[in-house]
Amino acid sequence: MSKDYQMKAAINQKMIEMGERERLKELLRAKLVESGWKDQLKAHCKDVIREKGLEHVTVEDLVTEVTPKGRALVPDSVKKELLQRIRAFLAQHAALGFWLTPIHSPGFSKSTFSGLKCAAAEERSR
């Protein structure tokens, strides 16, 4: 359980709790449609299905085939924007009390917590 991993877990959980994760998902969805990413991937999926045959293809096949291309095709601007939003979320919730609510994840320790605090404070001062 690395510290980074724990921090990731804590941030993720707080984001779910506050509904921020849903909002980010919707933002991402809209951006990806707008930029044409969805259409590109849809075309690729169709190719994969044609290749494997409609009767035999499984969702796993598609996921394995399409994921690397999907990740590569995301435009940088979209990545930047989402990153900005996550950073803003951190900066917004730099308060002590916010992160103190218990998070049930194995190995969540005080050191992780202080790491989080530092990251949040850093974001705020940026």
Partner 1 sequence: MSPAGCPHVGGWKADGWRQNLRLIYRCFVWTGSAETRTRKARSCVCHVCGAHLSRLHSCLSCVFFACFAKKHIHEHAGTKRHHLAVDLLYGGVYCFLCQDYVYDKEMEQISKEEQKKAWKMRGVGEKFSSWEPSRREVELLRHNPKRRRITTNCTIGLRGLINLGNTCFMNCIVQALTHTPLLRDFFLSDRHQCEMASSSCLVCEMSQLFQEFYSGRRSPHVPFRLLHLVWTHARHLAGYEQQDAHEFLIAALDVLHRHCRDDDGKRTSNHCTCIIDRIFTGGLQSDVTCQVCHGVSTTIDPFWDISLDLPGSSTPFWSLSPGGEASVLNGEGHGGGATTLTDCLRRFTRPEHLGSGAKIKCSGCHSYQESTKQLTMKKLPVVACFHLKRFEHSARLRRKISTYVSFPLELDMTPFMASSKETRDERPAERRRRQQVTPRFIQNRCIRTGSSEPDQTLALSSFSSFRESEINFLNLTFLITNETIDSDDPFLHGAASSSRYSLFAVVNHQGTLESGHYTTFIRQHKDQWFKCDDAVITKAGLKEVLDSEGTPERSTPAFLCRTVNKEFYLSVFDPPPPRVTSFTPEEELRSSDVEAELAVGVAVRHKDERQQEALCS
User: Please, are residues 8 and 105 in contact by the beta-carbon 8 Å criterion?
Assistant: no
Which region, judged by CB under 8 A, interacts with partner 1, from 45-53, 68-76, 92-100, 111-119?
92-100
Cα(27)–Cα(21) distance, rounded to whole angstroms? Answer: 10
Q: How far is the CB of 19 from partner 1 (least distance, A)?
A: 6
| Of the residues 7, 66, 92, 119, which one makes contact with partner 1 according to CB under 8 A | 92
Alpha helices in the chain (DSSP H): 3-17, 20-34, 37-52, 59-73, 76-92, 96-100, 110-125
**88 counts as binding partner 1 under rule CB under 8 A:** yes
- Pick from 3, 75, 105, 119: which binds partner 1 (CB under 8 A)? 105
43 touches partner 1 by CB under 8 A: no
CA distance 105 to 9: 8
**Window of 43-51, 68-76, 93-101, 110-118 that interacts with partner 1 by CB under 8 A:** 93-101
Of the candidates 89, 112, 123, the residue with the CA atom closest to the CA atom of residue 10: 112
Taking CB under 8 A as the binding criterion, the range among 8-16, 45-53, 68-76, 110-118 that sits at the site for partner 1 is 8-16
